[in-house]
Structure 1
Amino acid sequence: MTFVTAWRAPWWMIRGEWRAHPARIVTAVIAIAVGVALGLAVHLVNASALDRFARGLALVRGRADLSVTAAGPDGIDERLYPRLARLAGIAAASPVVDAHGALGRDPIEIVGLDAFRAAAVTPGLIPTPAAGQPLTSLLSPQALFLSPAALAGRRLGDVVTIVAGTRTAAWRIMGTVPGAGEGRRIAVADISAAQARLGRAGHIDRVDLKLDADVDADMIAGTIRAMLPRGAVLETPADESSSTDALSRAYRVNLDMLALVALLTGAFLVYSAQALSVARRAPQFALLRVIGGTRSLVLGQVLAEGAVLGIVGAGAGIALGTGLAAGVLRLVGGDLGSGAFADEQAPPLVFAPGAALAFAALGIAAALIGSLLPARAAAAGRPVVALRHGGDAVDPSAKPRIMPALVLAVIAVVLALLPAAAGLPIAGYASIGLMLAAGIAAMPRVARWLLAPLAHARLSSPAAQLAVARLWGAPAQAAVALSGIVASIGLMAAMAVMVASFRGSVDEWLRQILGADIYLSLGGSGAALAPEDQSRLLAVRQVADADFMLQRPLALSPGRPPVILIVRRDPGAAFPAVGRSVPVPAGTVPVWVSEPFSRTFDVAAGDALALPLGPGVRARIAGVFRDYARQQGALALRAADADRLTGERGRSEAAISLAPGTDPGGTIAALRQALPPPLRSVAVIQPVADLRARALAIFDRSFAVTYALEAVAVAVGLAGVAATVSAQTIARTREFGMLRHLGVTRRLIVATLGIEGALIGAVGAVAGIGLGAAMAQVLIHVVNPQSFHWTMTTRWPIGLLSGVAAALVVAASGTAMIAGRRAVSLDAVRAVREDW
């Protein structure tokens, strides 16, 4: 045969197969498309957010090559600035005061700078006086210059009030900051005015440094580090970018890995569809071989089918993923709900062609991998045998092999015990992938184990007896039908158990830490309750007690995200402990650290800890507490110790306990009235029950992508069940014709198929949920601790798993019966004819 003639017949066979079974093809394409779309969407969302953050960082840091930054809330002594400016190799130095406050109800970043020195380093922050205002207005102690986003709804010349910490100050808008960028709320003032009005006299928050062109950056960085006092760190723009990327990296990589697992599930669905197709078309492939086709031609035909499935699925996945990314950016934000990026506006979508091609290649590879074994089986078939008979040639008395599955399972367990690589649970996800492979490899043996009680029982129903005998005697075909089912249901069950466990643990944690009746928060406004404000709140008649709290970022090392310093009256009693607490020696400051802090910095209860809160501070860890809110880590100080070390007595939150029988609604109104007017507009006061509900709503928002993946896994799994069972049923038309010749009625055959489908669904549900439960333990006890550094207790979503199992049984049984009616509609003679 010529090359064209040789490939014309296979192409006719491919087109005929796809026309005959479009549902099977569509299901496989959807499975590949979903995996590609989810992986690409996660990548595009995070790339867009990081691009937005990099632009913001470029604005704030401008042309600075290095920045000396305050590690704690007290800032750094301004006398460090001239010493840095006089260093050899420093072309320009710009001191900066950087604070957060509230302008009305809107949070705003307040930047105090020397406009003339900043021009060489951060030109994007240089203010522009309004028309008619002299250049000297840049130095006015009351002048404020707003970015376009902050100016919205206000006019030049207006007097506005800004609350920052415990300070309230009135400013006059005398110009704009045109280079501030879209969506950023920034207020720029002269540095001396900012110091005086924000209570920063003698202190600054940052010194931005621009180096000479020919200077050795590493050498001058070493010189600067040697002269820095305690509480100051040297950072490059890359350090800050990498620290923010680190906050979202674990969340992003976990979703990427789940998307790749979804692609693996798609590969199993492609395998299931292709294996059934190959088994049904065995006589066709045999005839192709008889008329001159080679083994490589048959192999190439099946692989070409898989490649086309992969290409179509990848193309659809790229389009779907791009649209999904745009929707997620608009609805959830650039942090995928993880809270890593604090931005008022959603970043614009940045398309990445390289990433799209990479995920498309993964989708095509998944389809080819799923087609490889069926292709080899089709090429290896003996034409004479295939032309004479089809079906499952396995001896019913032979036991299916279990050793390959056991080997894969043992390797998976070993991988689950390995530590993280570069802070990521790579071995954990490899363990999950091998568990999936082990589960699929074990299905023939597992199916026989589960069917054994029925196979050895005396069944009164002829339909049930025929169904069990068929499944028991054709283990390979049953395993093919079950492979896609088990893969998709296993993934769904693993995610369902993991999310239910995480949500249940978060709910329990919230109940433990929110023990008061009312919670007051000034949010991210930068405002704080002064001691006199705290006294007024305590004086409200309905208030029995209040624990006033503070949260501030604290930089412990360059290149790592700042941890959160929490100030509470008694942290040891306020937070749920992990492990035992230890007494600290006299003369040391007790601190409590969160689980993520303990794992990130490799410390435990009893260890010493250096804190940048003043000279000679000796601290020791008194205990480790559970914390699901701050992935970067947190450490807690007693209020008395924090007041003594930092001198900062302002507080940003309060847990308020009410007298018995008090109406929370009336108390909230009284508390708000007790606040000074500037704080009333930014304070959020709500019952703890509402706060807990809001926190869980945020949790659900954070896992919206995971929930979507879970729903898609269920939908694709059920569609795969329907397509698989339907194709397998229609392929047995000759078998049904033979049964009809033996006197079996159409109704009995349809009933038999319904029971077969129900048994396949039940076996698939039991095996898939069992496999998912094992994978969930890796997610809960390996992936989450290695990614996010927190632990949780396993919880089982019995209702969801039971509902999915029931839906699976109904879908398999119903599809088999519908397809069976079509298969038995032919008369018995036509059904067994050989001249197809």
Structure 2
Amino acid sequence: MIRALLRVFVASLLGRRLAGVLSLTAVTLGVALGLAVQIIHGAALDEFGRGMRLLAGEADLQVVGPRAGFDDNLYLKIAQQPEVRQASPVLEIEARLPGREEKLRIYGVDLFRVARVLPMLMPVAEDGAGRLLGLEPGRLFLSAAARESLELANGDLLTVQSGLRETELLISGSVPGAPAGQAFAVMDIASAQQVFDRIGVLTRVDLRLAEGVRRDDVLEQFAARLPPGVTVRPPDAGVAESSGLSRAYRVNLTMLAGIALLTGAFLVFSTQYLSVVRRGRELAFLRAMGMERALVMRGLLLEGAALGLLGGLLGVAAAHGLAALAFALVGGDLGAGYFAHVTPSVRFMPGASLVYLALGVTAGVAGAWLPARHATAQVPAQGLRAGNDSELLAANARWRAALTCIVLALLACLPGPLGGIPVFGYLAVAFILAAAVFGLPGAVGLLASPLALSSAVLARLARARLTAAPGQVVVAGAGVVASVALAVSMAIMVGSFRDSVDDWLSKVLPSDLYVRASSSVASGYLDPEAVDRIAATEGVARVVPVRYDSLRLNDAALPVTLIARPTDGGDALPVVSRGPVMDDTRPRVWITEAMADLHRLGIGDHLALPIAGRDAYFVVAGVTRDYARQHGAVIVELNDYRRLSGDHLINDLGVNLAPGANRDTVALLIRETLGDRVVEISLPAQIRAISLEIFDRTFLVTYLMQAVAVLIGLFGISTTFAALATSRSREFGMLRHLGLRRRDIGRLLALEGSLTAVVGVVIGTFAGGAIALVLVEVINRQSFHWSMDLAPPVGAIVGFALTLVVLAALAARVSGAKAMRGSAVAAVREDW
């Protein structure tokens, strides 16, 4: 029986090659993009996790604190605890390398303790000089990946930067236990503290517990013994943190691929429905010969499953190719800066591959279900009658179903995320698309009604055809609605996001020049003397210092960023909400939208920040925008931070020029004062341009998907009208007998194609606008906790819509050319 079904049904796919190829392309694209995201993220996370586990060595727990580190006296207290058998201190530095683009992670370790807890970080001196060589100041040991990346050999010198000072370190050996692909260096902890001005500071302590001590018990006990801002965690907690930071980005890319897969399901629907129209008499004959209704249903569903299966297989293969290409071109950071220090390789993921293969088959079956249902519902006697395509293409207006989907979409926007994922927001998108498709038949009559006012014969014929067979618009327009909705929604969301980012950059970059010694995570910084020298430079009117750090507010939450800067009472910040603060006894703090959402804080709430090992209490004065830190940030007045921490170092310095001062001249004077190799001087316009370039590169895949979706929609119209024109050859023959010429038939097809595109574009544009609203107000807000101002690119959308209508008319005209070549007599020869 299966063999008979394959011979009768699946073999017919070979006769619909172009339509089948388009359906395959859409399903393949959806499967490939979704699975590629999983492969890239999974491989990067696995590689990152493997490196973290290997670098953790035999440690049972890790004591970690803020990025700036904590007092190394804490190490002595921890090591003396009875639950601890071995404790190994670590100082981790992100070293800036003057004259080079890349940075280098350097681990300062205790060479006498590291072998017992972290054997992977044990350095080996060149030529067997012995482990004591590492105790000498200025000795550096490179992992194989770092040696290859930096192109250095034993005996070479590497210049590192601390503050504004350059220091040369001697490459003295290797780290043979380093995980493959992990680029870092190791040196003695005392030497690292001295070179990088971190005397008395640690960033981590790795622990091995005594025999019989349970890790969970130590976690609870140490939580009460450690100072604020310092926590104890399992070694693999860093993997969970990185996974949490990248999850929202990964899920949104996956859902974008899901929309592409949904577009594929619509195209399978169009292909199968057209197949039913063209094979109506054949299917009716099979029914009349005794084939059961259920068997016909299974056969047609088998065709859809075959399309989905082949598209899924091609998609799985393409996904691994895309992942390999992504690793070769941009690495494993997903285009957004995650896992920047790992070099993963493509590995086959059988579980994820099977899931996406099943999704491909599901898309094929889902697309074939409604055409199969219509085919089996038809009476065989009607199907055997010639000219039955208009009956098959009849469709009733389903305003009630469309309204129900709209209500469900509105309700789906109300709940919060599940596990940080906006599941209900994506359901709202699905309901909006369903409402658009349900509204297609009813919209045909509304949008085609103006043609009744025209006296042109072709306009009246086009209206009569579309009104009598609105299913034609449903078949041809379903793919257009999906592709237009995707393109319009992403255009609105990305355009609004880009404008909001640009406006935010304008507000956070008010100065004329910006000076820094390195990025906020690296080893360069400006000390008070350097800041005073810049402030005293001729042409400088005012300097605006900024200091960054990371804080751990509790054991479970991700670290948040501390920004200490002059706030001018909030006027210097991109504040989105503020209010009167009744408590004037505490210093004020401004929090970002992500901070407010993740920690459920509001204006007037009290907030304890662990600064310099002590809790400092603030009152929330307002909420600001921040598109750079999705895990949250707090902004405190610089003078309050310095008073509480005693830290007077600076990461970034805004420079406001005196009236009439030349920026290039002032920048040159600052370089001459501090040294060209150790400072970076940027203009606000340069920072904005680089930031927006990164933004555009991040959303490049979105732009490509929009183009592919629109192209697929156009091809869907083309194949639809090619198939319908063939089935309507007798109708065209009769029209030619009545006096219409071949070119008139072509114009009729072009008019029908343009009207079909108009219906699809109008419905798709409204659906896209609604989806964009969900993306902006629900999905992005719940995923990244960012708000943005809606800024729809009206001109671009109108131009896109007009272009799509013109191309659709051309596609319909070209596709129906074959049906117009035949003889008018032959077309009507068959008995009706």
Q: TM-score, normalised by structure 2?
A: 0.94
Gaps of 5+ in 1: none
1:127-170 Cα offsets, whole Å, 9 max, x none, are 11222634322322343323344443444344544323466545
Task: Give the secondary structure class of the aligned counterpart of 1:237.
Answer: coil
1:599-622 per-residue CA deviation (whole Å, 9 max, x = no partner) reads 111101211111111435221112
Q: Is 2:224 the partner of 1:226?
A: yes
Q: Distance in 2 between matches of 1:823 and 1:499?
A: 43
Instruction: Supply the distance in 1 between the matched residues of 2:678 and 2:725 (Cα, whole angstroms).
Output: 65
* Corresponding residue of 1:384: 381
Question: Secondary structure of the equivalent of 1:338?
Answer: coil
In structure 2, the partner of 1:551 is 548
Alignment partner, residue 61 of structure 1: 56
Q: Secondary structure at the match of 1:796?
A: coil
**Aligned-residue identity in percent:** 41
Show the counterpart of 2:406.
409
2:381 aligned with 1:355 = no
Cα 1:239–1:750 change in 2 (3 A) is same
- Asked if 1 retains the 8 angstrom alpha-carbon contact of 2:514 and 2:653, the reply is yes
Query: How far apart are residue 268 of structure 1 and its match?
Result: 1.1
1:685 maps to 2:684: no
Could you say which residue in structure 1 is the equivalent of 2:416? Answer: 419
Partners in 2 of 1:362 and 1:117 — Cα distance?
52
* Counterpart in the other structure of 1:295: 293
Query: How far does the alpha carbon of each residue in 1:773-799 deviate from its partner, in whole angstroms, 9 at most, with x for none?
Result: 111100010000000001011111224
Q: Which amino acid aligns with 2:189?
A: I
Question: What code does the residue aligned with 1:469 have?
Answer: A
CA–CA distance in structure 2, aligned partners of residues 109 and 313 of structure 1: 44
**Conservation of the 8 A alpha-carbon contact between 2:449 and 2:463:** no
2:120 is the alignment partner of 1:121: no
Deviates more, 1:178-187 or 1:45-54: 178-187
- Asked whether the 8 Å contact 1:100–1:109 carries over to 2, the reply is yes
Could you list the per-position Cα deviations for residues 489-512 of structure 1 after superposition, in whole angstroms to 9, with x for gaps in the alignment?
111211111111111111111111
| Distance (whole Å) between structure 2 residues aligned to residue 834 and residue 377 of structure 1 | 26
Q: Does 2:750 correspond to 1:754?
A: yes
Asked if 2 retains the 8 angstrom alpha-carbon contact of 1:101 and 1:165, the reply is no
Which of 249, 252, 256 is residue 251 of structure 1 equivalent to? 249
Of 103, 110, 116, which aligns to 2:106? 110
Paired residue for 2:45? 50
Deviations 1:183-207 (A, max 9, x none): 5443322223333443333332211
- Comparing 756-765 and 712-721, the one that deviates more: 712-721
Bigger Cα displacement from structure 2, 736-745 vs 807-816 = 736-745
**1:92 and 2:86 equivalent?**
yes
Superimposed CA distance per residue, residues 270-295 of structure 1 (whole angstroms, 9 cap, x where no aligned partner): 11121121022111111122223222
> Aligned partners of 1:745, 1:735: CA distance in 2, in Å?
13
After TM superposition, the structure 1 = structure 2 runs for residues 9-158 of structure 1, keeping only pairs within 5 Å, are 10-11=8-9, 14-16=10-12, 18-19=14-15, 21-71=16-66, 73=68, 75-104=69-98, 105=100, 106-131=102-127, 133-151=129-147, 152-158=150-156
| Aligned-partner Cα distance in 2 for 1:673–1:646 | 32
Structure 1 residues 745 and 62, CA gap change in structure 2 (3 angstroms): same
Match of 1:809 among 805, 808, 812: 805
Distance of aligned partners of 1:340 and 1:574 in 2 relative to their CA distance in 1, 3 Å threshold: farther
**Offset at residue 296 of structure 1 (A):** 2.5
Query: Counterparts in 2 of 1:275-286, with a 5 A limit?
Result: 275-286=273-284
Inter-CA distance 183–668: structure 2 relative to 1 (3 Å threshold) = farther
Matches within 5 A, 1:706-725: 706-725=702-721
Change (3 A) 1:5 1:683: closer
- 1:430 maps to which residue? 427
Distance change >3 Å, CA 605–CA 558, structure 1 → 2 = same
SS of the residue aligned with 1:179? coil
- Alpha carbons 2:476, 2:716 under 8 Å: kept: no
Following TM superposition, by how much is the alpha carbon of 1:548 offset from its aligned partner in structure 2, in angstroms? 1.7
Q: Deviations over 1:525-559 (max 9, x none)?
A: 32101111112222221322221212222222234
Contact in 1 for aligned 2:389/2:727 (Cα 8 Å): no
- For 1:188, what is the secondary structure of its paired residue? strand
Distance 1:646 1:351, change over 3 A: farther
Residue matched to 1:568: 565
In the superposition, the TM-score normalised over structure 1's length comes to: 0.94
Counterpart residue identity of residue 246, structure 1: G
Contact 2:591 2:620 in 1 (8 A): yes
Residue 491 in structure 1 maps to residue 490 in structure 2: no
- CA distance in structure 2 between the partners assigned to 1:197 and 1:815 by the alignment: 69
Q: Does the CA-based 8 Å contact 2:164-2:679 persist in structure 1?
A: no
CA–CA distance in structure 2, aligned partners of residues 180 and 662 of structure 1: 52
Q: CA, structure 1 residues 815+18, in 2 after alignment: closer, same or farther (shift >3 Å)?
A: farther
Report the equivalent of 1:650.
Answer: 649
Change (3 A) 1:565 1:573: same
* Alpha-carbon distance, 1:746 to partner: 2.4
Deviation of 1:486 after TM superposition, in Å, equals: 0.7
Query: Could you say which residue in structure 2 is the equivalent of 1:242?
Result: 240
The farther-off stretch of 752-761 and 203-212 is: 203-212
Match of 2:694 in 1: 698
1:603 aligns with one of 581, 587, 601: 601
Partner of 2:504: 509
Name the CA shift for 1:55/1:450 in 2 (closer, same or farther; >3 Å): same
Measured after TM superposition, the shift of residue 115 of structure 1 is 1.6
Question: Please, which of 722, 736, 743 is the counterpart of residue 739 of structure 2?
Answer: 743
State the alpha-carbon separation in 1 of the partners of residues 267 and 197 from structure 2. 64
Q: Which amino acid aligns with 2:460?
A: Q
Find the aligned partners of 2:207 and 2:515 in 1 and give their Cα distance: 40
Say which SS state the counterpart of residue 588 (structure 2) adopts: strand
Q: Measure, in 1, the Cα distance between the counterparts of 2:749 and 2:153.
A: 76
Give the count of matched residue pairs.
Answer: 823
Structure 2, unaligned runs of 5 or more = none
The residue type equivalent to 1:664 in the other structure is: R
Compute the displacement of 1:407 (Å).
Answer: 0.9
Distance (Å, rounded) in 1 between the aligned partners of 2:615 and 2:294: 77
Cα distance between partner residues in 2 of 1:150 and 1:818? 59
* Secondary structure of 2:541 counterpart: strand
Which position in structure 2 is the counterpart of 1:633? 632
Q: Is 1:669 aligned to residue 665 of structure 2?
A: no
CA gap 1:167/1:64 in 2 versus in 1, 3 angstroms? farther
Contact 2:582 2:604 in 1 (8 A): yes
| Closer/same/farther in 2, CA of residues 576 and 480 from structure 1, 3 Å limit | same
Which residue does 2:658 correspond to in 1?
659
Q: How far apart in 1 are the matches of 2:373 and 2:541? A: 77
Structure 2 counterpart of 1:266, from 257, 264, 267? 264
CA distance in 1: counterparts of 2:264 and 2:378, whole angstroms? 26
- Residue in structure 1 matching 2:337, options 336, 339, 351: 339
Determine the C-alpha separation between the residues in 1 that align with 2:220 and 2:2: 70
Deviates more, 1:562-571 or 1:581-590: 581-590
Letter of the structure 1 residue corresponding to residue 778 of structure 2: V
Alignment partner of 1:620 is 2:619:
yes
- Compute the displacement of 1:835 (Å): 8.3
